[in-house]
Structure 1
Amino acid sequence: MRILISGASVAGPVLAYWLNRYGFAVTVVERAPALRKAGGHAVDLFRPAMDIVDRMGLIEQVQTRKTGTEWLSFRAGNGDRSHTLEVGRLMRVVSDRHVEIMRDDLGEIFHEATQRDVEYLFGDSIAALAENADGVDVTFERGPARSFDLVIGADGLHSNVRRLVFGPESRFSTWIGAYLAVMSIPNYLGLRDRMDGVTDVNRMVGVYGGAHMDDARAVFLFRPAAELDYHHRDVDRQKELLREQFAGMGWEVPRLLGEEMDNASTFYFDSITQLRMDTWSRGRVSLVGDAGYCPGPAVGGSTSLAVVGAYVLAGELAEAGGDHTRAFAAYEREMGDYVRRSRTFAVGAAKRLIPTGRLGLWSLVQGIRLINHVPTPIARALADSGAKGLRLHDEIVLKDYPRAPAVKADAAG
């Protein structure tokens, strides 16, 4: 049985790993000409995703590449005093098993684990999909047309597969009030095990390095009064908007918005948007990760959600013996509650990370003091009482799926 996956970042290779293990013939198509090394940003893997990584035999590689961020320091408003949080204490409140890793490093690990058994088509993309009684005819932008039994979109928030099958992104996206920008800059602050930054009402900036990084990342989160007008590929306009939103902010911000942004090796800018779809499957096509149910970049644990979603989708296809009508429905049932809870959490997290007023700014400082000084079990209880769902990832119970191949793989067509 032949399955085409669009997207080779995180969800795509994880899905490919498990599908191959269950006996499916897998092809992954990726628009980028090679494995993406675009600077990226740090992402979190919580307990269920870590357990899946462990089952893939990759836990040591992931642990080795963790960022090593141990301290988070920031100034509130125009104050000179720096408030410092021990990251390990915070993460123990949130999850019993966690690692922070650069997204590009994680994608590289997953790709290396699958490249010998999975066909990768780099530098190409799906141009059209036509379903027939036996499968899906796929027209590629560059390569020859081919047929597959199933097609899975793992191509992110701005999914091409979703657009082709379900319609324009605007039908499903909901802006939850904030924006995110990340750029790669020289590590001129000498950061290795910490993030430094400044937080004010409706905006925050942080800079961090990593144990295995030669450069650093500058991260901007902000909440404007209304949704911004720009195209997601218009970088000049995005930089202009960023300068407008952070004008007058102190600390390192003027330098970051000036010479560092002008010379940044990579730059990313996007709205913190949720996808809200009634179903992620149509016919022989389904979606996984951000392509189907992004809870919001940087605020909803979307990377862990994507890893779990890929594992579940592959497992349900294996359990159903490749019957997509059964498998897709079971996949959506299995993931539904996790997705809905992640959406709810993301909306609250966006408000807590980017204070909407002076009271929110004060509460953020008090929260840091609480985590730093209160024993972890008590901090967990207090945090849950004030932020419902803080430990939602650790509450997910992974289903066990067949360990032997469930279908006979056909040669890729």
Structure 2
Amino acid sequence: MNGSVLISGAGVTGLALACLLDRAGFTTTLIEQAPALRRGGQAVDIRGVALDVVRKMGLLDGARALRTRLKGMSTLDAAGNETERTEERTFSAGRLDSDDIEIFRDDLCELLMGAMSQRVEFVYNDSIRAIDDQSDGVMGTFASGAERKFDLLIGADGVYSNVRKQCFNDEPTFVHPLGVVLALFSTPNLINLIDWQLGHREEGVGYVIYPSRDQSELRIGVGFAAPETAVSRSDTEAQRQLVAGQCAHLKGEFPRFIDAMKTTDQFYYNELAQIRMPCWSKGRVVLAGDAAHCASPFSGQGTSLGLVGAFVLACELVRHGDDRRQAFAAYEHRMRPYVDINQALVDLTREGPVPDHLLTEAKNGIDLSDLLIEAE
């Protein structure tokens, strides 16, 4: 098969798919509701078998050049006083002597975008309003009013996937809330923090703070228990107010970060959930990444799952030619045990440190040897 593919979502998974399918000869279009590449966001990790995927894509050296350069972390109390420090690990990346690559999400997205050809079409500031899965293709009606037909539609549009909502029955039953809010925002580097991470976790509120690669910004993540009444996903002002209220007891420099949060345009808020589905495809539509199987940031494996899933899906589409059903089935058969391991890991991470052998199993729990050889 070398047909046309519409990918919903220009995050890591969507961009990786676009890059791989473009190289395989597919006519590839990406649709993204944001007006441009989303800036900001947390550092993400490329681990285990995902390193093999990035190497096969020819991007390993580029990813290593863009990795974060943190030298350690400090644990702070609610007053902002240091209670512990280490140069062996950080909250976000784990051990600093591992082969894992910690890289900012936007840096990774730019790396993937730079690896694809001019043939890939980007449609920004738009979304899919209606999907008609027909016998000879998928008709997508965009919010802008355009109607276009493709051979396949891939939903790589995140935990609250628009494609999943439109195409799969019983969609609400797939979302399993974890009872935790995660807010991410960027501020200027108000405290001149250089190559170091700060973290706090007491009385139901936790945060992590670290500088951007050029040290000009701080990337800040705040987590706390989800409110009994969910805040609307479109009400950014209410989200900011909730974060500020949850952090009102934090002293030291933290009030300055909250003040900066109120005006930054790089603000992300989500009530964390896992996505568990009995099947990831239907007709000519298939899901990938968080849209299909979000494990949540607690796993530390979301980006690796997305990269590996993109590689497996692209390889199976090439391997099975025009038989999309076999391609989708092979993709899911190979990926699901790997996903299950990493989703199960989340409960363990919330209870305390996870044994090293389980972390290793989670990072390497899929065999890609044959696909890596075929992709030569």
Residues 263/129 of structure 1: CA separation in 2 closer, same or farther (3 Å cut):
closer
Determine if the alignment matches structure 1 residue 68 to structure 2 residue 69. yes
Partner of 1:364: none
In the TM superposition, residue 143 of structure 1 has moved relative to its aligned partner by 5.5
1:59-138 matches, within 5 Å, as 59-76=60-77, 80-87=81-88, 96-138=98-140
In the aligned structure 1, how far is the partner of 2:278 from the partner of 2:239?
Answer: 31
Aligned with 1:188: secondary structure?
coil
**Who wins on radius of gyration, i.e. which is larger?**
1
In the TM superposition, residue 24 of structure 1 has moved relative to its aligned partner by 2.0
- Name the aligned partner's letter for residue 238 of structure 1: Q
Confirm or deny: 8 A CA contact 1:6 1:29 kept in the other structure. Answer: yes
Task: Render the CA deviation track for 1:84-112: whole Å, top value 9, x for unaligned.
Answer: 23355996769953111111111111112
Task: Render the CA deviation track for 1:46-105: whole Å, top value 9, x for unaligned.
Answer: 122222111111112211211212212112566944312335599676995311111111
Confirm or deny: 8 A CA contact 1:125 1:140 kept in the other structure. Answer: yes
- Name the aligned partner's letter for residue 126 of structure 2: D
Mark the runs of 5 or more structure 2 residues left unpaired by the alignment. Answer: none
- Name the aligned partner's letter for residue 207 of structure 1: I
Confirm or deny: 8 A CA contact 2:299 2:342 kept in the other structure. Answer: no
Confirm or deny: 8 A CA contact 2:8 2:163 kept in the other structure. Answer: yes
Confirm or deny: 8 A CA contact 1:300 1:343 kept in the other structure. Answer: no
In the aligned structure 1, how far is the partner of 2:277 from the partner of 2:269?
Answer: 23
Partner of 2:222: 220
Greater share of residues in strand: 2
Determine if the alignment matches structure 1 residue 383 to structure 2 residue 347. no
Aligned with 2:115: secondary structure?
helix
- Coordinate RMSD, CA, aligned: 2.6
Partner of 2:240: 239
Task: Render the CA deviation track for 1:8-62: whole Å, top value 9, x for unaligned.
Answer: 111112112222222222221222222222x221111112222211111111221
In the aligned structure 1, how far is the partner of 2:141 from the partner of 2:88?
Answer: 47
In the TM superposition, residue 403 of structure 1 has moved relative to its aligned partner by 7.2
Residues 97/169 of structure 1: CA separation in 2 closer, same or farther (3 Å cut):
farther
Partner of 2:6: 4
Aligned with 1:254: secondary structure?
helix
Determine if the alignment matches structure 1 residue 53 to structure 2 residue 54. yes
Partner of 1:339: 339
1:226-375 matches, within 5 Å, as 227-257=228-258, 259-352=259-352
- Name the aligned partner's letter for residue 204 of structure 1: G
The percentage of counterpart residues that share the same residue type is: 37
- Name the aligned partner's letter for residue 139 of structure 2: D
Confirm or deny: 8 A CA contact 2:80 2:254 kept in the other structure. Answer: no
Partner of 1:362: none
- Name the aligned partner's letter for residue 57 of structure 1: G
Aligned residues: 373
Confirm or deny: 8 A CA contact 2:335 2:366 kept in the other structure. Answer: no
Residues 127/15 of structure 1: CA separation in 2 closer, same or farther (3 Å cut):
same
Corresponding residue to 1:401 among 360, 365, 371: 371
- Name the aligned partner's letter for residue 69 of structure 2: G
Bigger mean CA offset, 311-320 vs 197-206: 197-206
Confirm or deny: 8 A CA contact 1:124 1:143 kept in the other structure. Answer: no
Aligned with 1:392: secondary structure?
helix
In the aligned structure 1, how far is the partner of 2:299 from the partner of 2:97?
Answer: 15
Aligned with 1:14: secondary structure?
helix
Aligned with 1:50: secondary structure?
helix
TM-score (norm 2): 0.90
Confirm or deny: 8 A CA contact 1:178 1:350 kept in the other structure. Answer: no
Residues 237/167 of structure 1: CA separation in 2 closer, same or farther (3 Å cut):
farther
Aligned with 1:3: secondary structure?
strand
In the TM superposition, residue 156 of structure 1 has moved relative to its aligned partner by 1.1
- Name the aligned partner's letter for residue 370 of structure 2: D
- Name the aligned partner's letter for residue 400 of structure 1: D
Task: Render the CA deviation track for 1:220-260: whole Å, top value 9, x for unaligned.
Answer: 11235x54421112111112221232232333333323x22
TM-score (norm 1): 0.83
In the TM superposition, residue 149 of structure 1 has moved relative to its aligned partner by 1.1
Residues 121/400 of structure 1: CA separation in 2 closer, same or farther (3 Å cut):
farther
Partner of 1:140: 142
Partner of 1:410: none
Aligned with 2:271: secondary structure?
strand
Mark the runs of 5 or more structure 1 residues left unpaired by the alignment. Answer: 353-366, 368-381, 406-413
In the aligned structure 1, how far is the partner of 2:77 from the partner of 2:249?
Answer: 14
